[in-house]
Amino acid sequence: MRFEKLYDGFGALEAPRVDGDGNLYFSDMVFGGLRKYGADGVGSSFLTERAHIGGLVFNQDGRLICSGKGGLILFDERSGAVEPLLTGIDGFPLEVVNDIQTDAEGGIYGGAIDFTALAEGRAPAYGFLFRLDPSREVTVVARDVNVSNGLGFSPDGSRLYHADTSVGIRVYPLRNGRVCGAATLFAALPGADGLAVDAEGGVWVACYSTAEVCRFDPDGQLRERIPFADPLVLSLCFGGADLRDLYVVTAGHFHEPQSRLGAVYRARSDVAGQPLPIARF
């Protein structure tokens, strides 16, 4: 698989998503905000003051749902209006929500992280995985999460994959879109960050600590490793009309935040990704 560099000069890129018109969105964890690049390569910036956007999904009314500092927001790109969607759970204020993913019912799975502890090099005091229904009811799925990251569903809807960066990839059984049992370890992979699941059930994982992308078979066997020259590999997504464009976003060293080594790469995959559900809020 041969990757081409599309855009560079950023800090630490996260939350890549491609819409139905071929527009690529991603965030910059170092310099803040959300970026958008159209098929013509022209870029624009939004939410420039919003920090730590780790996840992005598209809503049914055309708005974007962004994670980040303080929880989840609904953002109208046309007007610039921002509406809080989720700021706390059971009276517990959300410091940062990281990666998010929509399910078949239009709800959102996401992970809350103890960002202050991580930034200071301390062990997180908390971390959990939750589901937000379109009715805005919240269910905490797991409370034993260290650093919540990428999320994805198997093609048959029977599994939810979840990256816990300090451990690897966990998998939860699903029934009717809901987690119905305890997680098991799918792949021991410290440094696992963003992930995407392809149409054959293969699990693609951005591995920041080893600067590579790994692809696992549905049975957990590692089948492919793709190294990158950039210091850190943070997330990935599928896009394009046939969902065979694989986008990967990277970063420079976190201890050199001004290095601007973050970049966006794209390659053609032999296996297509899956169309992602639209949120219904």
pTM, entire model:
0.96
For 26, 42, 69, 119, 203, the CA distances from 116, given in Å and listed in that order, are 23, 35, 11, 5, 30
Read off the pLDDT band of 114 (50, 70, 90): very high
**Span 106-112, average pLDDT:** 97
pLDDT digits (tens, 9 = 90+) for 210-268: 999 999 999 999 999 999 999 999 999 999 999 999 999 999 876 676 788 899 999 99
What pLDDT was estimated at residue 257? 62
Read off the pLDDT band of 120 (50, 70, 90): confident
Q: Which fold has domain 4-268?
A: Neuraminidase (2.120.10)
Q: Enumerate the domain spans of the chain.
A: 4-268
Is the Cβ–Cβ distance between 238 and 245 less than 8 Å? yes
